[in-house]
Chain A
Amino acid sequence: ETGVTQTPRHLVMGMTNKKSLKCEQHLGHNAMYWYKQSAKKPLELMFVYNFKEQTENNSVPSRFSPECPNSSHLFLHLHTLQPEDSALYLCASSQHEFGTSYWEQFFGPGTRLTVL
């Protein structure tokens, strides 16, 4: 596997289910991101992790819970979601160096989530 991978690619869940999305990057990066992509809306940044530490939580509801056990893996734990949470969830990674860098973000293919 190369680049940024995400599993599963498609997920259908009920409002009472608990599920997790997984992201893995094979690029040696130290920053990882979760985005939500809904139709007709800009990409919404949800969470940022730099060096495994969460540095940004963009006012995301607590029914979304991120986890970053190491710099290569990122999870998004889902519980008691709402139908409006149905969207494409994208993971990205980049190389972040304080004060100097601007490296572009590399995206995975996304997980298409449908909440019934």
Chain B
Amino acid sequence: AQSVAQPEDQVNVAEGNPLTVKCTYSVSGNPYLFWYVQYPNRGLQFLLKYITGDNLVKGSYGFEAEFNKSQTSFHLKKPSALVSDSALYFCAVRDPPGGGATNKLIFGTGTLLAVQP
């Protein structure tokens, strides 16, 4: 069964510093990977996805993620953190289409990013 792991409950970073939020996955076959962000009292917002192609994926708000097949990781990164980036971040995985695969997303437990001014 597919699964994702976010090993850090919280990541603290100073404003202006680079940030990384970690995600590792376990799937059979080629994964479809996603990052979502959740601000307080809001639903999840889509940030970016990896389907195929370049291992470095660029998304919204200056975020990017690097797909690493050998390490089964899909870490979220940003070169320079902003206080407004403080939120809860979720990694998710789904089956690639075909072969009876569903459109079900499996989410990690989330990582709280706190950016200090």
Q: Are A and B bound to each other?
A: yes
Interfacial residues, chain A to chain B (CB-CB below 8 A): 4, 6, 31, 40-43, 45, 48, 50, 55-56, 90, 92, 94, 96-110
- In contact, B94 and A102 (Cβ under 8 angstroms): yes
- In contact, B43 and A110 (Cβ under 8 angstroms): yes
- In contact, B105 and A45 (Cβ under 8 angstroms): yes
What are the residues of chain B within 8 A of A98 when measuring CB–CB? 97
Complex Cα–Cα for A55 and B102 (A): 9
B96 to chain A, nearest CB (A): 7
Residue total for B at the interface (Cβ-Cβ under 8 A): 25
- In contact, A104 and B49 (Cβ under 8 angstroms): yes
Given contacts A42-B109, A42-B110, A43-B107, contact A104 B42 (CB under 8 A): no
What are the residues of chain A within 8 A of B102 when measuring CB–CB? 48, 55-56
- In contact, B43 and A4 (Cβ under 8 angstroms): yes
Closest to A98 in B: B97
* B44 proximal to A (CB < 8 A): yes
Consensus secondary structure, chain A interface = loop
What are the residues of chain A within 8 A of B43 when measuring CB–CB? 4, 6, 90, 92, 107-110
Give the 3 A-B residue pairs with the shortest CB-CB distance, closest first: A107-B43, A43-B107, A107-B44
Complex Cα–Cα for A78 and B9 (A): 31
Complex Cα–Cα for A41 and B90 (A): 12
Closest to A96 in B: B103
What are the residues of chain A within 8 A of B107 when measuring CB–CB? 42-43
Near A by CB (< 8 A), chain B positions 92-117 give 94, 96-98, 102-110
Complex Cα–Cα for A41 and B110 (A): 9
CB < 8 Å neighbour of B104 from A48, A103, A107: A48
Closest to B9 in A: A40
Complex Cα–Cα for A97 and B97 (A): 9
Closest to A102 in B: B32
- In contact, B104 and A31 (Cβ under 8 angstroms): no
- In contact, B42 and A109 (Cβ under 8 angstroms): yes
Complex Cα–Cα for A94 and B105 (A): 11
Given contacts A42-B108, A42-B110, A102-B32, contact A107 B45 (CB under 8 A): yes
Complex Cα–Cα for A6 and B42 (A): 11
What are the residues of chain B within 8 A of A109 when measuring CB–CB? 41-43
